[in-house]
Amino acid sequence: MIALLQRVREARVEIAGDTVGAIGPGLLALVCAERGDTAAEGDRLLAKLLRLRIFQDDAGKMNRSLQDTAGGLLIVSQFTLAADTRSGNRPSFTAAAAPDEGRRLYDAFVATARAAHPVVATGRFGADMQVHLVNDGPVTVPLRIAPALAVADVPPKHR
């Protein structure tokens, strides 16, 4: 799974002019499921996201996590994070999970986030959304969690 995190002072998602999700200070997480991802990758991504120390402490150092600050988390589905731009001028999105699988993984990610963190808001999977944010810093961090390899998938000389 892929996430693009933006530390924000505030963020909201609108659909057709209606706000469907909003937070104050915290993280905006644009999230994409890729082909081959499972809920396990979503769980690992969420754990990393919640503990990533990108908020300032009293000394001005990035030393606090979203959990430490109890900030908001706005989760927005964004399949375009899987864009392959290596060839030509039109991105390919074949690395993104199929829509039904992407929705299932997004919904599982959101449910786990809501169980683990007190302030979680979302966009709407597959909707035409307008995302508004006031970036704090700015601080923008990409995260990618690859599917774990089974022992049988690892060549013998690397075991």
Strand runs labelled E in the chain: 2-15, 18-23, 26-32, 55-56, 62-64, 72-77, 120-122, 130-144
Per-residue burial over 51-61, b = 16 or more CB atoms within 10 Å of its CB, e = otherwise:
ebebbbeeeee
Give the active site residues.
78-80
How far, in Å, CA of 59 to CA of 23, rounded? 25
How far, in Å, CA of 79 to CA of 60, rounded? 34
- Decide: 141 and 5 in contact? Cβ < 8 Å: yes
